Amino acid sequence: MKPDLMAIGLQTVLLLLLSPLVSGCIKNWKARLQNRRGPRIVQPYFDLIKFLRKDMVISEHASWVFSAAPYVVFITALLVGLMVPMVTTQAPLSLFGGVLAVVGLLALGRFFMALGGLDPASAFGGMGSSREMTIAAIAEPALMLAIFTVAITVGSTDFSHIVAASQSSGWGMLNPTHLMAFAALFIVLLAETGRVPIDNPATHLELTMIHEAMLLEYSGRYLALMEWGASIKQLVLMAILVNIFLPVGLAANGSVAALGLGLAVFLVKILLLSAAVVLVETVNAKLRLFRVPDLLSAAFVLAAMALLSTFLFH
């Protein structure tokens, strides 16, 4: 019973390589829907390489916490990615932690990102940190309750067990409990990845930004790590959603054929979900900050209803 180093290595590479692609697709498709040409799908890769080669400017007010934050954000995103099943039913690191560790590690990354935002003494950073922590605080109960609902029906907080149980239930997955939990998690996904009704990843306008405000003082290598970490986190949250609620095509063993098929199906699922995100972003306007809690409490209520409905359907 020890973690498989090969699997860890492969999934790390997958996370590193696939996550910019997802971000690129979302940006490009969103632009197309808005009748713009938009950046190329592979643009995020070039951006990352460019950032890595640039000199850094660090604020004179910043302390060592500012420099530690990008590493923590990047590493926690990777660790979380290793705990979630992507292509195979068994996550490489499932022994080291399940749902609760994922939520905890994401919170650790956010904690340091918010500190990094406060450190350079700029009002923008403080504003971003304050809003990010607030939104995270109201999104977390909805996230936890939705995951708890799924976990309770399975009796485990281990993603691999949850996915296996979903797989074995077949069409039974399409019960109201799971549909409502999915809806709740989708709203949380939008909040956690800073998508439109909650945050706008495309602007640097002070009134609207949350995530970008915290990154304002980062440049060069640190910015690359922050951006990369954010897209890995986005990929991981999407993987959680698609693999819990649509567990088709996951490779049950380590044969090349199974892995290849698993990867192809995973790509299709992730891109479908990205398309859904693009659609939501295009047809919605950003909410006022103090309307966001309404949306997130709707997610909480959905999750609570999902929980109640377990009484009716089990």
Contacts with another protein in 12-51 (CB under 8 A)?
12, 16, 49
Among 148, 182, 245, 266, binds another protein (CB under 8 A): 148
Among 112, 116, 71, smallest CA distance to 214 is for 116
The residue written with tokens 């490009």 in the block is 28
Contact (Cβ atoms closer than 8 angstroms) between residue 185 and residue 193:
no
Whole-number minimum distance, CB 296 to another protein, in Å?
10
Residue of 50, 57, 1, 47 whose CA lies nearest to 21: 47
Is position 129 an interface residue for another protein (rule: CB under 8 A)? yes
From the CB of 143, what's the least distance to another protein, in Å?
7
- List 251's β-bridge partners, or say none: 88
Distance of alpha carbon 161 from alpha carbon 159, whole angstroms:
5
Binding segment (CB under 8 A) for another protein, from list 124-132, 242-250, 255-263, 278-286 = 124-132
Asked if residue 157 binds another protein (CB under 8 A), the reply is: yes
Smallest gap, in angstroms, from Cβ of residue 276 to another protein? 25
Determine the Cα–Cα distance for residues 128 and 124; give it in Å rounded to an integer.
6
Residues of this chain, 220-259, that bind another protein according to CB under 8 A: 220-221, 224-225
Contact with another protein (CB under 8 A): which of 18, 79, 190, 226? 79
Q: Which stretch binds another protein (CB under 8 A): 133-141, 184-192, 244-252, 259-267?
A: 133-141
Q: Which of 86, 114, 236, 295 binds another protein (CB under 8 A)?
A: 114
Helix (H) or strand (E) holding 124: helix 123-154
With CB under 8 A as the contact rule, the residue among 74, 186, 245, 266 that binds another protein is: 74
- What's the min distance (Å) between Cβ of 130 and another protein? 5
Does the footprint of another protein cover residue 57 (CB under 8 A)? yes
Residues 6+ apart with CB under 8 A from 83: 91, 93, 94, 96, 97, 98, 101, 102, 105, 159
Nearer to another protein, 98 or 247 (CB): 98
Asked if 90 interacts with another protein (CB under 8 A), we say: no
Instruction: Give the tokens for residue 58.
Output: 């660090």
Q: Among 156, 167, 169, 282, which residue interacts with another protein (rule: CB under 8 A)?
A: 156
Among 199, 92, 97, smallest CA distance to 157 is for 97
Task: Show the tokens assigned to 243.
Answer: 């693999």
- Number of C-alpha atoms within 13 angstroms, CB side, residue 175? 19
Residue 27, SS3 per DSSP: helix
Is 209 among the residues that bind another protein (CB under 8 A)?
no
Binders in 283-302 for another protein, by CB under 8 A: 289-290, 293, 300
